[in-house]
Amino acid sequence: MSNRTPSATIVVPAYNVAETIGETLQSLLAQTFTDFEIVVVDDGSHDRTLAVVRAMGDPRIRVIQQPNRGLAGARNTGINAARGAYIGFCDSDDLWRSTKLAAHVAHLEANPQVGLSYSGSELIDAASRPMGLAQRPRLRGVTAAHVFQRNPVGNGSAAVLRRAALNAIAFRPAYEESRDWWFDERFRQSEDIECWMRLMLTTDWEVEGVPGLLTRYRVVPGGLSAGIARQYQTWEAVVAKLSRLAPGFVAAHAPAARAFQHRYLARRAISSGDGAEALRRTRAAWAASPRALLREPVKTATTTLAAGVLAALGPNAIARLARVAGRRAT
């Protein structure tokens, strides 16, 4: 490990990821911007994760081990250990394009008001092959309402933040004795959106994107839809928390955000072949805010149609429909 303070830190939370973390770390070590450290937080893995990381043998990688605290808890430990002025996050099954860190560091240095810099993402499958799908979010003029409704940051491996912006949202629950929290460890899902929203509702740091699909975000299809109801409950708990921070804002924007959240979960249900759940979520989306849904008519129509077809005709019909529609993902 070098004694010099690196400009940037990449935090990699790792829990039982021996299969994928090697490729993740290789993509990080190949960054064209080279003045960085990687902090891998082994969050209580009981597979060979640690051995894989150690075998990388690169002095820029530091490993911190802790008993399992969840994704937010692993990221927080990484932030706490980070020495860089810029702190990025890469989940241990995702990949960074080699120019990603350079793009975000340049963006943050040129724009002192920006606290969080993100990029679009290319979706890859279990074998790291492009799925032909991408997240191409809005990049400029991002308001708190945009983040709440459509989360342009997109996934947990897209953001690089300024240390000062993270400092502004640090907090510490009464029972926490060892270090601050940045992400709220009480949430096991939606912890990203909660953190980004807290940044936007309690500080005046701006959130802005850079062009390019600089993150390669792994989507393993066919996941169970059983978690969808719980994921929705967690999202509502996040909304309840935010409504204390900014009651007027949440009252004004929650219906639209809720519609998009239901639509997103409907698409998840569709891809896991659960027609009944997809239909339930689609109905809930329309009940929450038709006006919000009609702002993106094509995506809303395909989701609604797919949910209906899936519920009526089963998964095979959907696969054919998806090929015809040639949609963009998530």
Partner 1 sequence: MIRIAHLVDDTTAGGVTRYLDFLRQDPQMARIADHQVCVVPRHAPARAGIDADMIVSHLAITWRGLPGLMALRARHSGLPLVHVEHSYSEGFTAANVTHRTRFHHLLRCAYALFDRVVAVSAAQAGWMERRGLVRAQALDVIPPCVDLAPCTALEAPRGPVRVLGAVGRFETQKGFDVLIRAFRSLPDPFLRLALFGEGAARAELETLAAGDPRILFPGFTARPEEAYAACDAIAMPSRWEPYGLVALEANAAGRPVLMSRVDGLKDQAARGNTPVTELSEEAWTDAIARLTEAERPEIDRSLATARPTRDGWARLVEDLLGENEGERLAQTA
- Site residues (CB under 8 A) for partner 1? 112-113, 143-145, 164, 168, 170-174, 200-204, 206, 241, 244-249
Q: How far is the CB of 247 from partner 1 (least distance, A)?
A: 6
- Residue whose CB is less far from partner 1, 31 or 190: 190
- Residue whose CB is less far from partner 1, 136 or 241: 241
- Residue whose CB is less far from partner 1, 170 or 276: 170
- Residue whose CB is less far from partner 1, 146 or 283: 146
Q: How far is the CB of 244 from partner 1 (least distance, A)?
A: 5
Give the integer Cα–Cα distance in Å for 236 and 170: 22
What's the distance, Cα to Cα, between the start and end of the chain in Å? 39
- Residue whose CB is less far from partner 1, 132 or 247: 247
Q: How far is the CB of 93 from partner 1 (least distance, A)?
A: 31
Q: How far is the CB of 145 from partner 1 (least distance, A)?
A: 7
Q: How far is the CB of 171 from partner 1 (least distance, A)?
A: 4
For the chain, the three-class secondary structure string (H helix, E strand, C coil) is CCCCCCCEEEEEEECCCCCCHHHHHHHHHCCCCCCEEEEEEECCCCCCHHHHHHHHCCCCEEEEECCCCHHHHHHHHHHHHCCCCEEEECCCCCEECCCHHHHHHHHHHHCCCEEEEEEEEEEECCCCCEEEEEECCCCCCCCHHHHHHHCCCCCCCCCEEEHHHHHHCCECCCCCCCCCECCCCCCCCCHHHHHHHHHHHHCCCEEEEEEEEEEEEECCCCCCCCCHHHHHHHHHHHHHHHHHHCHHHHHHHHHHHHHHHHHHHHHHHHHCCCHHHHHHHHHHHHHHCHHHHHCCHHHHHHHHHHHHHHHHHCHHHHHHHHHHHCCCCC
- Residue whose CB is less far from partner 1, 125 or 176: 176
- Residue whose CB is less far from partner 1, 5 or 202: 202
Q: How far is the CB of 118 from partner 1 (least distance, A)?
A: 17
Q: How far is the CB of 202 from partner 1 (least distance, A)?
A: 5
